[in-house]
């Protein structure tokens, strides 16, 4: 029904987890959900719907970057009626005390992208997470004894930028970490009066130059998934 997502209205749950990697979407569905159906495999950007503790949840790959997540999130909202979209992904931390595997809840997302700048005619919109989802995610983390940091993150258009020092400008203004999708997701959710949050696992640290292996990155999503799935209702 969407141009990039198969299926029809009703195939997607009100709560959708969005990992960047479609293989991760499959793994989350297989690991945590029961009664799973795959509603879309267009471009191998898989989407699944199943049950988690009696609640219906979908998991949809977003791809990397703000243009990609914008296409999928727009269709989830506009064509499938998604109400809550929770990005689950990785980030590069800016502070030395943030360890690999630590969880960051994005309260707001600054950006070096021009996407919003064009929409808002050069004025400066502040992409913000849903307070309701943020509060509940924080409470779930507290209940489960999962350490989280909450704050501003950077959604960047480049992974391999030209200026290796540029992140320090953001770090000096208390931005915690960089990823590549949240600012667009928060803006889109606000436009359609839906809720969005980004829950991020630290996969690398720009201050200490530590990085998790591909294998570690694939296995450290348990805390993130546990928090995200608890937000379904
Ligand atoms: N940059 C952008 N996105 C990321 C990074 C990074 O260093 N690490 C994980 N996602």
Do 198 and 106 touch, CB atoms closer than 8 A? yes
Q: pLDDT tens across 12-58, in order?
A: 999 999 999 999 999 999 999 999 999 999 999 999 999 999 999 99
Residue 1 lies in a domain: no
Q: Check whether 140 has a pLDDT greater than 70.
A: yes
Residue 8 lies in a domain: no
pTM: 0.97
The first and second tokens of residue 191, run together, are: 């436009």
> What angle, 0 to 180 degrees and rounded to 10, lies between the N-to-C axes of helices 66-78 and 182-191?
30
> Which residue among the candidates 6, 112, 157, 204 is catalytic per the annotation?
204
Note the pLDDT of residue 219.
Answer: 66
Q: pLDDT tens across 103-116, in order?
A: 999 999 999 999 99
Residue 187 lies in a domain: yes
- The finding on whether 178 has its CB within 6 A of some atom of ligand 1 is yes
Q: Check whether 217 has a pLDDT greater than 80.
A: no
To the query of whether residue 11 is one of the catalytic residues in this protein, the response is no
Do 113 and 70 touch, CB atoms closer than 8 A? no
The first and second tokens of residue 9, run together, are: 């209205």
* Count of structural domains within the chain: 1
Q: pLDDT tens across 218-231, in order?
A: 667 899 999 999 99
Residue 190 lies in a domain: yes
Q: State how far Cα 154 lies from the chain centre.
A: 12
Residue nearest to atom 6 of ligand 1 (CA): 92
Residue 2 lies in a domain: no
The first and second tokens of residue 58, run together, are: 């979908």
- The finding on whether 19 has its CB within 6 A of some atom of ligand 1 is no
Closest ligand 1 atom number to CA of residue 156: 2
- The finding on whether 204 has its CB within 6 A of some atom of ligand 1 is yes
Q: Which domain holds residue 128?
A: 15-229
Cβ-proximal residues to 199 (8 Å cutoff; 6+ apart), any chain: 86, 87, 88, 89, 103, 104, 105, 106, 137, 224, 227, 228
Using most ligand atoms within 8 A of CB, pick from 158, 160, 203 the residue to mutate for ligand 1: 203
CATH number of 171's domain: 3.40.50.1580
DSSP 99: P
């Amino acid at each position: 029904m969407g141009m990039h997502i198969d299926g029809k209205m009703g195939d997607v749950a009100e709560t959708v987890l969005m990992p960047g990697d479609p293989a991760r979407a499959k793994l989350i569905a297989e690991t945590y959900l029961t009664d799973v159906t795959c509603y879309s495999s267009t471009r191998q950007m898989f989407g699944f719907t199943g049950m988690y503790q009696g609640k219906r949840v979908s998991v949809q790959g977003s791809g990397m970057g703000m243009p990609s997540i914008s296409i999928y999130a727009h269709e989830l909202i506009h064509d499938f009626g998604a109400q809550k979209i929770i990005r689950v992904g990785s980030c590069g931390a800016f502070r030395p005390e943030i360890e690999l595997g630590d969880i960051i809840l994005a309260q707001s997302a600054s950006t070096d992208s021009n996407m919003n700048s064009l929409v808002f005619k050069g004025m400066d919109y502040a992409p913000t997470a849903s307070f309701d989802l943020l509060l509940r995610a924080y409470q779930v983390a507290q209940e489960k004894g999962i350490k989280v940091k909450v704050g501003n993150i950077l959604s960047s258009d480049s992974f391999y930028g030209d200026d290796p020092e540029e992140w320090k400008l953001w770090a000096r203004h208390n931005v915690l970490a960089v990823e590549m999708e949240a600012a667009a997701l928060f803006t889109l959710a606000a436009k359609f009066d839906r809720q969005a949050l980004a829950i991020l696992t630290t996969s690398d640290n720009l201050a200490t130059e530590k990085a998790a292996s591909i294998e570690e990155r694939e296995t450290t999503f348990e805390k993130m998934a546990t928090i995200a799935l608890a937000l379904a209702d």
